[in-house]
Amino acid sequence: MDNSLKSLIEDYLRESCQELKKVGIFSKHLPPVFVNRPKKKERGDLSTNLPFSLSQEVGKSTSRIGRLLTSYLEGKSLFSRVEFVPPGFINFFISSAYFNEVLKKIVTQKEKFTKFSYGGGRRIQVEFVSVNPTGPLHVGHGRATAFGDSLANILSKVGYEVEKEYYVNDIGGQIERLSRSVWARLQQLEGKEISFPEDGYQGEYLIDIAKEARIKMGDELSEAGKTEDELISLLGEFTVKEILRQIKTDLDEFGVRFDRWFFESSLNKEIPKVISFMKDRGYVYEKDGALWFKTSSFLPGKKDRVLRRRTGEYTYFASDIAYHAHKFGRGLDQVIDIWGADHIGYVPRMKAAVQALGYSKEALKIIIYQLVTLKRGEKRVSASTRAGKFIPLREVLEEVGKDAARFFFLSRTCDSHLDFDLELAKKQTPENPVFYVQYAHARVCSILKKAKGEGIKLKDLDEVRFDLLASPEEKELMKELALLPDEVKEAAENLEPHRLTTYLMGLAALFHQFYTRHRVISEDQGLTSARLFLIKAVKIALKDTLNLLGITAPQKM
RNA sequence: GCGCCUGUAGCUCAGGAGGAUAGAGCAGCGGUUUCCUAAACCGCGUGUCGCGGGUUCGAGUCCUGCCAGGCGCGCCA
């Protein structure tokens, strides 16, 4: 619905810049026009520093430009007041009429209030989690999971056609190690002496899987005529399937559902094709019996990378290139990969590969999230899947719940390290910010329920006296609501879901403040009606935003 | 050694296309409930925005050097 208040004002500002031409002030390049929220209320609902940037561009006085712009804007009914403030700010005070319109829009458009068309239906893929099927999801993966899922929701909200994908590395060295590890566990269960593979996965979950395997595939495993290697390979397949099943269960509990699970093994035939394509373009050569990708064509001074080993096996990099070729081959306009910080060194070569495939390096966006440090009080917990010393995501979900976990993961930028203190997460439960926000929603529901119980009928929108909502608390609430579409849009543009958790805290705080100072249901029918619509709008905004983050909005708590 | 990320209140962190007096949550202290949920509200305080230079009318934000922490630098995945 494109209900961006900031864009509306920015458009007015651009128009006004055209007006400036009439008095001989113009520039070829209009500087970027931005409207922001001032820190202080006295400075208006929104403000711009355009006079600064414009005066630099055209070489005229800041205050002259500011005053002229202000005079053009003053006539707009959107504003109750526009003021130029030296040295170069213009402050906008939004008219109550606009805020009243916003309430009507929210109540009628509901979750479509924050919908935008600017994605234009372009196809965008978010690939995330993609954890190797060698062990269960641990708490560190929770961050990527919450992030990717919310990002997908947000992008879809602003008009992209979004697809969520999980890439499964179901072949290769780590799967062999996994298979041998389960095999060893199985032998141990049989009471046989066998040395555990040195590079094996020691996690105890493999013992459970070995037990499962013994029950479910007993016959297959005891069949004569099969070599040990064949048996190990069969066992490996079973194990991967089982671990994937567990991962899916965990994701399900975390509220995440993927549109597609893409298996590395399905790329078998694609890899040679893709490599030969790149070879035709001059980016692949042979040396020392191996096949190399000319990373250096795109990254001067960097090492070239092996695609096919001397042994004839393809590297992980090769299948990753084939995978990305496959992605773009499906007609995606934009691909977003979400990787952990331990893959940082891999980014440049992947982007180089995308270019070698003939796509712009902008077509692939790689978001790196910093790793999660696990703590139990003072003690650091290592999060290595191989050693098996990880805290499963499932355990955290059981302790703090899906909503709190998601909120916690999403309240920080992915650029910053995340300290996840399990003790704190447990202890914090009642004071966790997520409850603050959810409580606001539950409170609204409770009032609406009471109103319904008292037989208060909601008036038609056109009859509601929104002008009665004149207290500071009500105005602040309306302003916050009016800016929600901009928040969603900015979260999408910057790929930063965490902006919405910040917004939610603010909106909930304003509601709680309003609640303690004003009664919604009162003798005054006109006021009651107006306030009921106000809180209804608050409810819609809270719920819609929580949904984007994958957090539930409870009716009561 | 090189690359990327981080360093903001006691703690965990927002604020990064430069802007007007730097914020929130938690923790601490004190107060608020005949009334729609006190999981709430109100009040009280602290910051050399890691350190040093630079660009600018203006820097937490941009550039640069340094310090500290994290991650990564394989014919592993």
| CA–CA dist A286, A279 (Å, integer) | 10
Average pLDDT over residues A225-231: 87
> For strand A260-263 and strand A161-168, is the pairing parallel, antiparallel, or unpaired?
parallel
Q: Which residue is nearest to nucleotide B73 (CA to C1')?
A: A345
Strand B contact at CB of residue A93, distance < 7 A:
no
Q: Which region among A121-130, A419-428, A479-488 has the lowest average model confidence (pLDDT)?
A: A419-428
The ranges assigned to domains in chain A are 5-94, 123-167+261-368, 430-548
- Treating both helix axes as pointing N-terminal to C-terminal, what angle do A472-482 and A498-517 enclose, rounded to 10 degrees? 160
In chain A, which residues from 120 to 139 place their CB closer than 7 Å to nucleic acid strand B? 132
pTM of the model: 0.94
pLDDT in tens, A301-333: 889 999 999 999 999 999 999 999 999 999 999
Span CA (A6) to C1' (B13), Å: 27
Q: What is the pLDDT, as a whole number, of residue A387? A: 43
Strand B contact at CB of residue A427, distance < 7 A:
no
Average pLDDT over residues A61-84: 92
Average pLDDT over residues A65-92: 92
| CA–CA dist A11, A198 (Å, integer) | 65
User: What are the distances in angstroms from CA A486 to CA A50, A94, A124?
Assistant: 19, 15, 21
Contacts of A385 (CB under 8 A, 6+ apart): A132, A134, A135, A138, A201, A203
CA atoms within 13 A on the CB side of A129: 32
Q: Are A430 and A384 in contact (CB under 8 A)?
A: no
Q: Which two tokens stand for residue A480?
A: 């916050």
Residue A344's identity, in one-letter code, is I
Q: How many CB atoms lie within 10 A of CB A19?
A: 14
Span CA (A506) to C1' (B30), Å: 25
H or E segment and range at residue A241 = helix A228-253
Q: Which residue is nearest to nucleotide B19 (CA to C1')?
A: A49
Strand B contact at CB of residue A468, distance < 7 A:
no
**Is residue A461 scored above 50 in pLDDT?**
yes
| CA–CA dist A446, A459 (Å, integer) | 19
Q: Are A96 and A135 in contact (CB under 8 A)?
A: no
Q: Which residue is nearest to nucleotide B72 (CA to C1')?
A: A345
Q: Are A89 and A51 in contact (CB under 8 A)?
A: yes
pLDDT in tens, A386-438: 445 678 889 888 888 899 999 989 999 999 988 887 777 766 665 678 999 99
Q: How many CB atoms lie within 10 A of CB A107?
A: 19
Name the percent of chain A lying above pLDDT 70. 96
Span CA (A199) to C1' (B42), Å: 60
Q: In 3D, which of A358, A293, A295, A374 has the Cα closest to residue A324?
A: A358
- Residues comprising chain A, all counted: 557
Q: In 3D, which of A139, A140, A166 has the Cα closest to residue A398?
A: A139
Span CA (A379) to C1' (B37), Å: 38
Q: Are A82 and A89 in contact (CB under 8 A)?
A: no
Question: What's the CATH fold of domain A5-94?
Answer: Gyrase A; domain 2 (3.30.1360)
Q: What is the pLDDT, as a whole number, of residue A101? A: 95
Structure confidence at residue A379 as a pLDDT band (50, 70, 90): low
CB contact burial A186-217 (16+ within 10 A = b; e otherwise): beeeeeeeeeebeebbbbebbeebbeebeeeb
In chain A, which residues from 219 to 278 place their CB closer than 7 Å to nucleic acid strand B? none
| In A254-382, alpha helices (H) | 270-280, 316-329, 347-356
H or E segment and range at residue A306 = strand A305-308
Q: What is the pLDDT, as a whole number, of residue A218? A: 76
In chain A, which residues from 50 to 69 place their CB closer than 7 Å to nucleic acid strand B? 52-53, 56
Distance in angstroms between the alpha carbons of the first and the last residue of chain A? 32
Average pLDDT over residues A477-485: 95
H or E segment and range at residue A230 = helix A228-253
pLDDT in tens, A497-531: 999 999 999 999 999 999 999 999 999 999 999 99
Strand B contact at CB of residue A465, distance < 7 A:
no
Q: Which two tokens stand for residue A192?
A: 């046989």
Positive or negative, the Cα torsion across A383, A387, A390, A394?
A: positive
H or E segment and range at residue A477 = helix A472-482
Q: Which residue is nearest to nucleotide B25 (CA to C1')?
A: A433
Q: Which two tokens stand for residue A148?
A: 């990717």
CATH 1.10.1510.10 at A123-167+261-368, yes or no: no
Q: Which two tokens stand for residue A175?
A: 């799967």
In chain A, which residues from 277 to 316 place their CB closer than 7 Å to nucleic acid strand B? 287-290, 303, 305-306, 309-311, 313, 315-316
The string of DSSP codes covering A18-37 is: HHHHTTT---SSPPPP-EE-
Strand B contact at CB of residue A501, distance < 7 A:
no
Q: Which two tokens stand for residue A515?
A: 């609640």
Q: Are A114 and A484 in contact (CB under 8 A)?
A: yes
In chain A, which residues from 166 to 225 place their CB closer than 7 Å to nucleic acid strand B? 169, 172-174
Structure confidence at residue A194 as a pLDDT band (50, 70, 90): confident
Structure confidence at residue A383 as a pLDDT band (50, 70, 90): very low
Give, as one character, the DSSP assignment of residue A350.
H
Span CA (A435) to C1' (B35), Å: 24
Place of tokens 């001397």: A310
Give, as one character, the DSSP assignment of residue A315.
P
Q: Are A551 and A406 in contact (CB under 8 A)?
A: yes
Span CA (A406) to C1' (B12), Å: 16
Chain B nucleotides close to protein (CB under 7 A) are: 3-7, 12-15, 17, 19-27, 35-42, 57-58, 69-77
Span CA (A301) to C1' (B73), Å: 14
Positive or negative, the Cα torsion across A412, A414, A415, A417?
A: positive
Span CA (A111) to C1' (B36), Å: 25
Span CA (A441) to C1' (B27), Å: 26
CATH 1.10.730.10 at A430-548, yes or no: yes
Q: Are A352 and A298 in contact (CB under 8 A)?
A: yes
Q: Which two tokens stand for residue A285?
A: 């050569």
Q: Are A554 and A446 in contact (CB under 8 A)?
A: no
